[in-house]
C-alpha cells in the first residue's frame, strides 16, 4: 500500500470510538488537507491544515497514541500518534525504533494497548478500543 493509504488506515484507527471528542476529530480530519509530510529513514510526520469551518474540540492539547502496528519486514512495531494543538488536529507521527520504515508499508497485525493482536486494522480491532483512560483530562 502507499504511504497515503497507510496513513488513512492509521488515522481511522486512532480516531475510532463513539466519544464526542473522537467524532469531532473525525470531522476535522475529513475536512483537513495535508500541509506537509516529512519522511525519515525510521518513519514520517504528516502535518494537517484544518479549515476554520471545522470546529475545534474543547481540549487544547491531546495526544492519542494507543495503537501499535506490525509491518512486514520491520523488526519492531510502529508507534503511531495523533497530536491535537489548540483544539485542532495538528499531525500524525509514525515511526519504528529499529530498522527502516518501508516505502510501501504492509500491515501484518495491529492492536491497541490492552487488546489482543488483530490481522490488520479491522472493524473488530476498532470495536475493542477503550479510550477512557486515554481521554482523561489531565486537569481533573
pLDDT digit string, tens, across residues 112-124: 998 999 999 999 9
Q: Which residues pair with 92 in a beta bridge?
A: 46, 82
Query: Counting beta carbons within 10 angstroms of the beta carbon of residue 42, is it exposed (0 to 12), middle (13 to 18) or buried (19 or more)?
Result: middle
Owning domain of residue 35 = 3-127
Q: What is the pLDDT of residue 137?
A: 59
Q: What is the pLDDT of residue 134?
A: 75
**What percentage of the chain exceeds 70 in pLDDT?**
97
Do the domain assignments include residue 60?
yes
Do the domain assignments include residue 140?
no
Do the domain assignments include residue 30?
yes
- For residue 33, the surrounding DSSP H or E stretch is strand 33-40
Using one digit for the tens of pLDDT, what is the confidence trace for 22-60? Answer: 999 999 999 999 999 999 999 999 999 999 999 999 999
Q: CB-side exposure of 77: number of CA atoms within 13 Å?
A: 16
Map grid coordinates 496513513 to a residue: 7
Do the domain assignments include residue 8?
yes
Answer yes or no: is pLDDT of 136 > 80.
no
Q: When comparing pLDDT for 135 and 69, which is higher?
A: 69
**pLDDT band (50, 70, 90) for residue 10:** very high
**pLDDT band (50, 70, 90) for residue 131:** confident
The reported pTM is 0.92
Do the domain assignments include residue 138?
no
Do the domain assignments include residue 139?
no
Do the domain assignments include residue 87?
yes
Gap between the Cα atoms of 95 and 27, Å rounded: 25
Number of domains in the chain: 1
Gap between the Cα atoms of 13 and 125, Å rounded: 8
> By the 8 A CB rule, do 121 and 84 touch?
no
Do the domain assignments include residue 70?
yes
**pLDDT band (50, 70, 90) for residue 87:** very high
Amino acid at each position: 500500500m502507499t504511504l497515503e493509504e497507510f496513513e488513512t488506515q492509521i488515522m481511522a484507527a486512532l480516531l475510532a470510538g463513539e466519544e464526542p471528542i473522537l467524532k469531532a476529530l473525525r470531522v476535522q480530519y475529513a475536512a483537513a488537507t495535508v500541509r506537509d509530510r516529512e519522511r525519515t529513514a525510521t518513519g514520517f510526520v504528516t502535518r494537517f491544515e484544518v479549515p476554520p469551518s471545522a470546529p475545534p474540540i474543547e481540549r487544547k492539547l491531546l495526544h492519542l497514541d494507543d495503537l501499535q502496528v506490525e509491518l512486514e519486514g520491520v523488526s519492531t512495531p510502529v508507534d503511531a500518534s495523533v497530536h491535537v494543538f489548540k483544539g485542532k488536529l495538528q499531525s500524525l507521527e509514525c515511526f519504528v525504533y529499529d530498522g527502516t520504515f518501508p516505502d510501501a508499508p504492509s500491515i501484518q497485525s495491529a492492536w491497541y494497548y490492552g487488546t489482543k493482536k488483530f490481522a490488520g486494522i479491522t472493524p473488530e480491532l476498532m470495536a475493542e478500543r477503550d479510550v477512557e483512560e486515554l481521554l482523561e483530562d489531565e486537569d481533573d
